[in-house]
């Protein structure tokens, strides 16, 4: 699907101090950006920002960074953040970049948690390497994750979910934890769940949500 270019995106993003323009400059020093030593959690493919903004508000003792490839999509999240109720949140930053370059932006052990929510399934087999839960990406995450870092993935796509489980099982640096193919009917895994825009939409249509957790091995 081709995204519509929004002319004001560049100026709005540049005008928001929480949008980091040259993120590679801060590799290894993201705690200096936040001015504290709190653990850093990232969401890759943050979309319109509902999930990350809610997480940042719920967990002020953590630092959150939202990563989105397309400026026209990131614009929606930043505009939501700039609304009066969002502007009080100080433990959040935004980056417009391709997740394939993530090891150029974060140093080894710098990230304590990774959220992947309703990622592009890239349904064609020849595009499997582009899936954010492929072994290629799991190895990239290994380069930035701290020992014991948690990776959480949610999707409504059962094919992608099955693929993701097998990829994690085959990746020696990540250990598959709990998972479910019906999140909202799983009391344990749904405890404290923060819904995304897609999750609300798909759930209202009667589609079950899949979720897994994995942990980076020491």
Q: CB atoms < 10 A from the CB of 172, how many?
A: 10
**Is 85 labelled a binding residue?**
no
Tens digits of per-residue pLDDT, 147-186? 999 999 999 999 999 999 999 999 999 999 999 999 999 9
Residues marked active site are found at 120
For the segment 97-102, the average pLDDT, to the nearest whole number, is: 97
**CATH of region 38-216:** 3.40.50.150
**Is 83 labelled a binding residue?**
no
For position 99, what pLDDT does the model report?
A: 96
Interatomic CA distance for residues 168 and 176, integer angstroms: 6
- Give residue limits of the domains in the chain: 38-216
Is residue 169 within 8 A of residue 208, CB to CB? The reply is no
Residue 71, classed as helix, strand or coil, is: helix
**Is 175 labelled a binding residue?**
no
Q: pTM for this structure?
A: 0.94
**The tokens of 59 are what?**
């967990």
Residue 115, classed as helix, strand or coil, is: strand
Interatomic CA distance for residues 69 and 67, integer angstroms: 7
Residue 110, classed as helix, strand or coil, is: coil
For position 2, what pLDDT does the model report?
A: 46
């Amino acid at each position: 699907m081709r995204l519509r270019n929004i002319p004001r995106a560049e100026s709005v993003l540049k005008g928001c101090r929480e949008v980091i323009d040259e993120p590679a400059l801060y590799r290894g020093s993201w705690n200096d950006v936040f001015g504290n030593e709190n653990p850093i959690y990232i969401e890759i493919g943050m979309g319109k920002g509902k999930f990350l903004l809610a997480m940042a508000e719920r967990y002020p003792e953590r630092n959150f960074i939202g990563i989105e490839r397309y400026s026209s999509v990131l614009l929606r999240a930043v505009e939501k953040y700039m609304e009066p109720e969002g502007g009080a949140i100080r433990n959040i930053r935004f980056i417009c970049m391709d997740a394939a370059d993530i090891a150029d932006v974060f140093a080894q052990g710098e990230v304590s948690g990774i959220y992947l929510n309703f990622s592009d399934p890239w349904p064609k087999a020849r595009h499997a390497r582009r899936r954010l839960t492929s072994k290629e990406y799991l190895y990239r995450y290994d380069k930035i994750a701290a020992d014991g870092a948690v990776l959480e993935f949610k999707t409504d796509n059962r094919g992608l979910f099955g693929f993701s489980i097998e990829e994690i099982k085959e990746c020696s640096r990540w250990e598959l934890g709990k998972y479910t193919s019906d999140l909202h009917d799983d009391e344990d895994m749904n405890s404290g769940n923060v819904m995304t825009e897609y999750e609300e939409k798909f759930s209202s249509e009667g589609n079950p949500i899949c979720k897994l957790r994995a942990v980076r091995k020491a």
